[in-house]
Structure 1
Amino acid sequence: MGFKEWSGPKGKRQPRFIRHPSAPLLVFVGLWASAMKDGDPVTSFTIVTCPANAQVEPVHDRMPVTLSENQRE
């Protein structure tokens, strides 16, 4: 598993698939909210980002915050 990041000049960006070679599953940090608007339920979700690490930085300046196996315990 991994995530897609777009790189290149505007109008010609290409997708790049980024994954951790030794992690079969990535767990992203996110925020979820549910509210009512005009009587209708509205749900939103966002993925928390951080500055890119050395592997992702050549593609983009930020990346999703992920949890490692020992952080999930």
Structure 2
Amino acid sequence: MDDQKELPPALERRMAFRLLHHWREAGGEVGFPRLEDIDREVLADIWPECYVLDVVTSPENPCFHTVGQAFIEQC
């Protein structure tokens, strides 16, 4: 993990806020977006660092629907 670049805390927070803002917008009045509501183009610069975990279909056995390449490489 030493070879991974660390993001400045402010930049990391801005990325998290952008993702949260998009999540809330995509969820609309329902408040919880469907997978197809997430616009990967809007999040293109941070999408490789994202993952989507489905906890609704099977709460006892959540599963990953999407995992960004950067996230895969970190694991």
TM above 0.5:
no
The structure with the largest strand share of the pair is 1
Larger radius of gyration: 1
Q: Give the TM-score normalised by the residue count of structure 2.
A: 0.28
* Larger RCO, structure (CA 8 Å, separation 6 or more): 1
The structure with the largest helix share of the pair is 2
Q: Give the TM-score normalised by the residue count of structure 1.
A: 0.28
